């Protein structure tokens, strides 16, 4: 696919923006690639776009080409502190849909005050790497269905790992689970990133909410990181998720960044 869009460039050289594939656009000026655009569909079905350019004028050219070729609604994600990027997307007709807080989460139980937290009666925590894969995948699917039927996955962390169609658990070894009798009722996923581990998901079945299971899972995950010598972890929470915000802030997590999800209808 090679659909070309031509416009004036940054130094009176024409900029030609070409759709080189279903999901990629290239901007070329005087035989030099000066910008790229990418589109991808997330597991929840929404279409996201990103643009990487040298000059703001080229951003506008690439954005115009992508908007002419793609259906709406379209979504993108920007660091709230990056005012230039936010302004560029707003010029293209995007508006803020949601905000996500980035939290720096301490692991020391003396700081989090989680050392005395225990799972509720009848619940045990199965450490990461020890959960049975079949029941873990079944719990993950159940929780996802519950979220989709209520608040929707747009309230979940913006950075969703790409995954093959139908696959929602990429690496079972990164999950610890809460088990009640013979059922898995909650889970926490910690991505063991080299620079700083990331708490990618913490969730409990709807019928087991408000019993202290999420807090016990978090205490287990952070305690394990502390024992391994890790001083802090990272987590993202949508600002509309009052329960998760309260949970993290109650243990001394500090807001260190914020991300905006923008949409163009």
Residue at which a domain ends, from 99, 118, 145: 99
Same domain, 244 and 117: yes
pLDDT at residue 152 in the model: 58
Same domain, 196 and 174: yes
CA atoms within 13 A on the CB side of 246: 6
Average pLDDT of the segment spanning 160-187: 78
Q: Which of 57-66, 130-139, 160-169, 213-222 shows the lowest mean pLDDT across its residues?
A: 160-169
pLDDT at residue 65 in the model: 95
Same domain, 107 and 212: yes
Residue at which a domain ends, from 99, 130, 149: 99
Q: Is 93 exposed, middle or buried (0-12, 13-18, 19+ CB in 10 A)?
A: middle
C-alpha–C-alpha distance, residues 211 and 255, integer Å = 26
C-alpha–C-alpha distance, residues 259 and 85, integer Å = 12
> Is residue 263 in some structural domain?
no
Q: 135 lies in which domain range?
A: 101-258
C-beta separation of 163 from 201 below 8 A: no
C-alpha–C-alpha distance, residues 215 and 218, integer Å = 5
C-alpha–C-alpha distance, residues 178 and 219, integer Å = 12
Residue at which a domain ends, from 65, 99, 133: 99
> Is residue 94 in some structural domain?
yes
Same domain, 143 and 84: no
Q: What is the CATH number of the domain that holds 208?
A: 3.40.630.30
Same domain, 114 and 89: no
> Is residue 264 in some structural domain?
no
Same domain, 118 and 193: yes
DSSP state of 232: E
> Is residue 265 in some structural domain?
no
Q: Does residue 144 carry a pLDDT above 80?
A: yes
> Is residue 137 in some structural domain?
yes
Give the position of tokens 């989460």.
105
Q: Which band of pLDDT confidence, cut at 50, 70 and 90, is reported for residue 154?
A: low
Same domain, 17 and 148: no
pLDDT at residue 148 in the model: 75
Rounded to two decimals, the pTM is 0.80
Q: Does residue 2 carry a pLDDT above 50?
A: no
- Name 47's Cβ contacts closer than 8 Å, sequence gap at least 6: 39, 40, 41, 70, 71, 73, 74, 75
pLDDT at residue 153 in the model: 56
Number of domains in the chain: 2
Give the position of tokens 């024409």.
14
């Amino acid at each position: 696919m090679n659909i070309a869009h031509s416009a004036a460039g940054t130094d009176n050289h024409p900029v030609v923006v070409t759709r080189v594939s279903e999901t990629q656009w290239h901007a070329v000026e005087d035989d030099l690639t000066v910008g790229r655009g990418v589109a991808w569909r997330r597991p929840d079905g929404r279409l996201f776009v990103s643009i990487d350019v040298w000059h703001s004028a080229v951003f506008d050219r690439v954005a115009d080409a992508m908007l002419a070729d793609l259906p709406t609604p379209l979504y993108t994600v920007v660091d709230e502190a990056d005012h230039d990027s936010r302004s560029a997307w707003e010029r293209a007709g995007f508006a803020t849909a949601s905000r996500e807080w980035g939290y720096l989460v301490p692991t020391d139980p003396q700081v989090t005050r989680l050392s005395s937290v225990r799972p509720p009666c009848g619940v045990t925590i199965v450490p990461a790497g020890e959960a049975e894969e079949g029941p873990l995948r079944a719990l993950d699917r159940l929780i996802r269905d519950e979220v989709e039927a209520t608040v929707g996955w747009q309230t979940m962390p913006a950075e969703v790992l790409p995954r093959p169609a139908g696959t929602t658990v990429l690496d079972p070894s990164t999950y610890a689970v809460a088990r009640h009798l013979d059922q898995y009722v909650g889970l926490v996923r910690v991505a063991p990133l080299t620079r700083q581990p990331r708490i990618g998901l913490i969730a409990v079945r709807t019928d087991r909410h408000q019993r202290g299971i999420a807090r016990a899972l978090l205490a287990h995950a952070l305690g394990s990181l502390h024992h391994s010598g890790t001083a802090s972890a990272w987590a993202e929470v949508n600002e509309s998720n009052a329960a998760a915000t309260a949970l993290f802030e109650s243990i001394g997590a500090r807001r260190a960044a914020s991300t905006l999800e923008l949409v163009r209808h």
